[in-house]
């Protein structure tokens, strides 16, 4: 029996061949775009973290802030947290600050300002500074290095240094350094404003 070969006919399943003629610049462009989208996604999620905290503490949605205990209902956004501080070098200071009007306003304006800046991708550098200061104070208030609270009970600290406040601060700084507002945000428009061009720390 004769076997005839047909060089132009193939049978069976074949995976598509990958093109190898793409330039290195195409790969670099793709990687840059992927990085920009990753930072933009992180920025939006972080913005939601701050904005949600502001909204819940303002209106009392029943999550961290019980219904009817919101700021607009006369509740204090700082009293519960600061009055419960039970460790660290600023324990008594935080107790004195708990529920103070100026502390409530600074805390809530900080949450709102950082949240809005992140969501819209503007003023990321001031937001990083403000947010990092807030996270530093909250880190001191929880004082992860303590093994025991002031009453002698275990602190249940899971790590003596790296907790989520530190992570949030590092993320805020990274977003500002990366200029993460240019993708899915108003960062480019913001940077083009005359006052921002003259004062680059506002970017």
Res. 141: pLDDT tops 60: yes
| Residue showing tokens 């970017």 | 203
- Predicted confidence (pLDDT) per residue in 103-140, tens digit: 999 999 999 999 999 999 999 999 999 999 999 999 99
> Which of 95 and 4 is assigned the larger pLDDT?
95
Output the six-digit token pair for 39: 């930072």
Confidence of residue 200 (pLDDT cuts 50, 70, 90): very high
Q: Please compute, for residue 173, the number of CA atoms within 13 A of its CA located in the half-sphere on the CB side.
A: 11
pLDDT confidence of residue 198: 96
Confidence of residue 12 (pLDDT cuts 50, 70, 90): low
pLDDT confidence of residue 23: 62
Res. 9: pLDDT tops 70: no
Q: In whole angstroms, how far apart are CA 4 and each of 7, 11, 26, 33, 183?
A: 10, 15, 44, 51, 59
Give the DSSP letter string of 92-118: HHHHHHTT-HHHHHHHHHHHHHHHHHH
pLDDT confidence of residue 25: 72
Output the six-digit token pair for 66: 């019980």
- Predicted confidence (pLDDT) per residue in 13-65, tens digit: 454 444 455 566 778 899 999 999 999 999 999 999 999 999 999 999 999 99
Q: Contact at 8 Å (CB) between 75 and 106?
A: no
pLDDT confidence of residue 13: 47
Which of 72, 178, 188 shows the shortest CA–CA distance to 125? 178
Q: Contact at 8 Å (CB) between 186 and 124?
A: no
Cα–Cα distance measured from residue 142 to residue 87, given in angstroms and rounded to the nearest whole number: 7
Cα–Cα distance measured from residue 197 to residue 107, given in angstroms and rounded to the nearest whole number: 29
Q: How many CB atoms lie within 10 A of CB 97?
A: 21
Res. 7: pLDDT tops 90: no
Cα–Cα distance measured from residue 61 to residue 81, given in angstroms and rounded to the nearest whole number: 17
Cα–Cα distance measured from residue 78 to residue 99, given in angstroms and rounded to the nearest whole number: 5
pTM of the model: 0.86
- Predicted confidence (pLDDT) per residue in 147-186, tens digit: 999 999 999 999 999 999 999 999 999 999 999 999 999 9
pLDDT confidence of residue 80: 95
């Amino acid at each position: 029996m004769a076997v005839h070969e047909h060089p132009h006919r193939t049978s069976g399943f074949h995976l598509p061949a990958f093109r190898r003629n793409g330039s290195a610049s195409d790969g670099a462009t793709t990687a840059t775009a992927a990085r920009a989208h990753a930072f933009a996604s992180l920025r939006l999620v972080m913005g939601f973290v701050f904005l949600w905290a502001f909204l819940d503490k303002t209106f009392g949605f029943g999550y961290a802030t019980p219904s009817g205990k919101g700021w607009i209902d006369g509740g204090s956004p700082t009293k519960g947290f600061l009055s419960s501080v039970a460790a660290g070098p600023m324990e008594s200071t935080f107790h004195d600050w708990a529920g103070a009007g100026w502390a409530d306003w600074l805390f809530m304006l900080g949450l709102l300002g950082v949240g809005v800046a992140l969501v819209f991708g503007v003023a990321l550098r001031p937001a990083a500074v403000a947010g990092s200061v807030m996270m530093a104070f909250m880190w001191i208030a929880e004082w992860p290095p303590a093994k025991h609270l002031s009453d002698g009970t275990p602190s249940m600290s899971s790590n003596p240094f790296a907790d989520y406040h530190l992570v949030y601060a590092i993320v805020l700084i990274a977003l500002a350094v990366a200029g993460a507002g240019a993708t899915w945000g108003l960062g480019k428009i913001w940077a083009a404003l005359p006052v921002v061009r003259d004062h680059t720390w506002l970017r």
